[in-house]
């Protein structure tokens, strides 16, 4: 399963992350940067988010052994 994790800076010098499962294939850094900036500009979640720190896509494979 792939997960996009976006990390933002906050006004109290902390970080906040948002994780989204199943990001589209071929997602570019520019697309993620634009989305993250839109989240900040439009105060989508909270007002305290004020900067882009990082973003990464994690691909996790689970192999079930029993069950």
Find out whether 15 and 7 touch, Cβ atoms under 8 Å. yes
DSSP codes, 15-59: EEEEEEESPPTT--HHHHHHHHHHHHHTTSS-TTEEEEEEEEEEE
- pLDDT (0 to 100) of residue 45: 85
The model's confidence at residue 14, banded by pLDDT at 50, 70 and 90, is very high
Residues 22-66: tens digit of each pLDDT: 999 999 999 999 999 999 999 888 888 999 999 999 999 989 999
């Amino acid at each position: 399963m792939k997960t996009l994790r976006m990390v933002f800076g906050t006004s109290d010098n902390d970080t906040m992350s948002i994780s989204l499962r199943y990001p589209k294939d071929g997602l570019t850094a520019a697309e993620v940067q634009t989305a993250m900036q839109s989240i900040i500009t439009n105060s989508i979640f909270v007002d305290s988010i004020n900067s882009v720190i990082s973003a990464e896509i994690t691909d996790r494979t689970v192999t079930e052994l029993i069950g």
